[in-house]
Amino acid sequence: MVRRNIAVDYPLALLALGLSLAGVATVYSAGQTDVSTGLVNLWRTQALYLALGLGAAWIVSRVTVRMLDYLTPAIYGTTIAVLTLLLFVGRGAGTGQHTKSWIYIGDVSIGQPSELAKIAVVLMLAKVLSVRGETPSTLKEFWRPALVVGAPWLLIMLQPDLGTGLVFIGVFFAMLFWAGTDWRLLVLAASPVVSLVLAFSTGLWGAWFLLMLALVLWVKPFILESIAVVAANLVMGVVAPIVWSRLSAYQQRRLLVFLDPSSDPLMGGWHVMQSQVAIGSGGWLGKGFTAGSQKRLGYLPEQQTDFIFPVVGEELGFLGVVLVLGLFAWLMMRCIRVAGRSKNPFASLVAFGLVSMIFVHVLINVGMTIGVMPITGIPLPFFSFGGSFMLACWLAMGLMIRLSVEGRGRADTFVI
């Protein structure tokens, strides 16, 4: 019998495991309520998902980087196919009743392919960016990575699932950065979106627009690109608000709800308020594990998934929050180290893509619960209840462990 052993990056694995166990405990606590929420036994399921995730991670950690590189196009292709299929057979479930994110066999939900698509996109983007000898140095050269992300992004936005779409965009920019693209170029590429966000205030948008012009003059991209960037900013800043203001209130609401079903403008504010109240009332040490009153009485929306972090905040207090965020930060530092150490560009890019994926999730999810990020239905890694996402997180960890092993130049050890 042949056993292949690898030198596991134990700090990394233990950090992820620690976070996952804390996550299962928090899901358990989320089920401890005074009002019937049907969440009492959810933690068992979550523990099962964790076990599945660990198994998947173990398997993935056996796959060499070369093999992964080789399989990437197939994985990506399959993902695109499944996401396309999903637009026809997908159904809503859980928090996203009106989306087509879920795949079903009969009446049994199998999972959310978009969670796993995140990993496929990271892999494909790493392949595309590492295959080319040169780093994209002009906006025109963005087309290939943009296509890699854009295709699944569009498919996911059609479900629609704004949160996952946001993750894609974050990962896209992060990986371009890691590939060595000039940050100013990235800013130029992102500038139309910023213009759209700032369009509500003429002053802010004007300042941003001047900044853009200065950046364009500094970077001096091709003339057509310059014009395109400036034009895009103009359109976003000037036209979008006009179009928006022509829409009636209900049309605006419809559009917002379409973009993000979980952001019901009427209920959204209430949810964030209750989440903040839960966190704020926790104080330094919290109300005690399972004893959070906001949670117990059902004031937290989706306390087992999107709003699971307020449970930590309410019950374990500021110290609990710092501990959990510290563990996340440590884990991500560890992953950045893996990416930095890796001699193989593909491996390095995969590692950085995966950590940026986790980063975007943590930043947006945690920030949303305290009201500093917009409400988008985006889960917290290792904590939020859900099989597909737990699987995706542990697949990422499995890959990371593999990348860590190979990055340190330690070959597989074969034990006979």
Binding mask 144-183 for another protein (x = CB under 8 A): ---------------------------------xxxx---
How many Å is the maximal CA-CA distance in the chain?
Answer: 72
Let me know how long the chain is.
Answer: 416
Binding mask 362-401 for another protein (x = CB under 8 A): -x--xx--xxx-----------------------------
> Minimal distance in Å, beta carbon 28 to another protein?
20
| Closer residue to another protein (CB): 83 or 278 | 278
| Residue 380, CA distances (Å) to 12, 49, 337, 386, 412 in order | 18, 15, 22, 10, 33
85 C-beta neighbours (distance < 10 Å), count? 13
**Closest Cα partner for 400 from 11, 116, 128, 2?**
11
Instruction: Output DSSP code: residue 132.
Output: S
338 C-beta neighbours (distance < 10 Å), count? 28
- Segment 273-332, which members bind another protein (CB under 8 A)? 274, 276-284, 293-294, 297-299, 313, 317-318, 321-322, 325, 328-329, 332
Instruction: Output DSSP code: residue 236.
Output: I
Report the alpha-carbon distance of residue 331 to residue 13 in Å, rounded: 9
Locus of tokens 């190979």: 406
Tokens of 184: 């100013």
43 C-beta neighbours (distance < 10 Å), count? 22
Three-state DSSP string of 72-129:
HHHHHHHHHHHHHHHHHHCECECCECCCCCEEEECCEEEECHHHHHHHHHHHHHHHHH
Q: How many helices (H) and strands (E) does the chain have?
A: 16, 4
| Closer residue to another protein (CB): 196 or 339 | 339
Judged by CB under 8 A, the stretch of 219-227, 232-240, 346-354, 403-411 that binds another protein is: 346-354
Report the alpha-carbon distance of residue 216 to residue 415 in Å, rounded: 58
Interacting residue with another protein among 141, 151, 336, 412 (CB under 8 A): 336
| Closer residue to another protein (CB): 100 or 271 | 271
| Closer residue to another protein (CB): 215 or 235 | 215
Report the alpha-carbon distance of residue 332 to residue 327 in Å, rounded: 9
| Closer residue to another protein (CB): 112 or 369 | 369
- Segment 236-255, which members bind another protein (CB under 8 A)? none
Locus of tokens 């979980």: 262
Interacting residue with another protein among 87, 190, 247, 333 (CB under 8 A): 333
**Applying CB under 8 A, does 130 fall inside the site for another protein?**
yes
Binding mask 5-34 for another protein (x = CB under 8 A): -----------------------------x
> Minimal distance in Å, beta carbon 134 to another protein?
7
Tokens of 6: 């690898």
| Closer residue to another protein (CB): 183 or 258 | 183
**Applying CB under 8 A, does 340 fall inside the site for another protein?**
yes
Those residues with Cβ within 8 angstroms of residue 40's Cβ, 6 or more apart along the chain or in another chain = 31, 32
> Minimal distance in Å, beta carbon 351 to another protein?
11
Q: Is 104 helix (H, G, I), strand (E, B) or coil?
A: strand
> Minimal distance in Å, beta carbon 4 to another protein?
28
Site residues, another protein (CB under 8 A): 34-35, 129-130, 132-135, 177-180, 274, 276-284, 293-294, 297-299, 313, 317-318, 321-322, 325, 328-329, 332-333, 336-337, 339-340, 345, 348-349, 352, 355, 359, 363, 366-367, 370-372
